[in-house]
Amino acid sequence: MGVSDKVGSNRNVFGDTVVSILNGMSEAERGNHLFVDSDLEGSCGLKQIHDAYPDRFVSGGIMERGNFSAAAGFGMEVGKQGIFATFSAFLEMCISEITMARLNNSNVLCHFSHAGIDDMADNTCHFGLNNMFADNGLDDGYETRLYFPADANQMKACVEAVFTQTGMRFIFSTRSKVPIMVDSDGKEFFGEGYKFTPGKDEVIREGTAGYIVSFGDALYRSLDAVERLKQEGIDVGLINKPTLNVIDEDMLKKVGAAPFVLVVEAFNRRTGLGSRFGSWLLERGMTPKFAYIATHKEGCGGLWEQFPHQGIGPEGIMGKVKELVK
């Protein structure tokens, strides 16, 4: 519930949107952007960019650390940026290069696909990692932003909004296609007229019993759970947090005043958003009932089964909410 029959591939929408942005630039302006691939252009949405603008594209081969450094080196000059993409499973091997890029004030836009666990054929080697570790800088360091759009519409809006930002930007996407989310009237939530605002959380559904906070491939499943809970008389709200590492003070105050807050995510339970969100609430003196559910065990075999296997499918979410409202 809460989605249309349409689906979209976020990882491919990344490339399509970038091409659209480049099409609106002059040749000189396009020269300020360098795309570096690690032999995964067909999987990370970069093939469209390679086909459209081969002169701005480098096929770096299977060497993520060197390729990221090349993109960051290009982005060290004011007004230029490197664009890099690979699987989320390889993010952790780039951490030292990310740190050096941050110290050098490099402008880098990174697309890390195959995040979350949605229909993940590669299973455990591709999830349960610490994707939040991309935000490993200091508070007074060069700005770092982590984004995980919920569907193809939001991915397009996100790329358009952050493409011209400076600093380090990490956009996550799922391997599989995800459904298009709709509002209570059946209209596409992130459709016509929607603008992505970096750093701002979004109310997907209002509620009085408490709030679920989610993002990425867990958001549409959380919405299904919310709609079903409302039918059972439990008026739960849902918040989308597409900017993972920025505190939206107004939204935090809103959910912090609710009876409970439940964070639902496909990231690692040990290191994901939930491990931070509770601290943010306590630091501000907010004490709702709090819980978070996320990926936490091996997932050998299976595709769609991963979410219920981890207890974060709609039924698992509904069960956790019912525990919290007792």
Query: pLDDT tens across 229-284, in order?
Result: 999 999 999 999 999 999 999 999 999 999 999 999 999 999 999 999 999 999 99
Domains of the chain and CATH, by start: 3-179 (3.40.50.970), 199-324 (3.40.50.920)
Going from the C-alpha of 205 to that of each of 60, 173, 251, 276, the distances in angstroms are 44, 23, 13, 23
For all residues of the chain together, what is the average pLDDT? 93
Q: Give the per-residue pLDDT at 141.
A: 75
The torsion of the CA quartet 305, 307, 308, 314, rounded to 10 degrees, works out to: -130
Q: At what angle do helices 314-324 and 219-231 cross, to 10 degrees?
A: 60
At residue 149 the predicted structure's pLDDT band, cuts being 50, 70 and 90, is: very high
Cα distances (angstroms) measured from residue 46 to each of 54, 80, 170, 246, 287:
11, 19, 15, 27, 44
SS3 323: helix
Selected residue with higher pLDDT from 62 and 125: 62
**Ramachandran angles phi, psi of 35, nearest 5°:** -105, 130
Q: What is the pLDDT of residue 119?
A: 78
Name, in order, each residue with C-beta under 8 angstroms of 228's C-beta and a sequence gap of 6 or more: 1, 314, 318
Pick from 69-83, 131-145, 207-221: least confident: 131-145
What is the SS3 assignment for 305? coil
Q: Provide the pLDDT confidence category of residue 128 given band limits of 50, 70 and 90.
A: low
Mean pLDDT, range 82-101, rounded to an integer:
93
Among residues 220, 135, 133, the alpha carbon closest in space to that of 174 is found at: 220
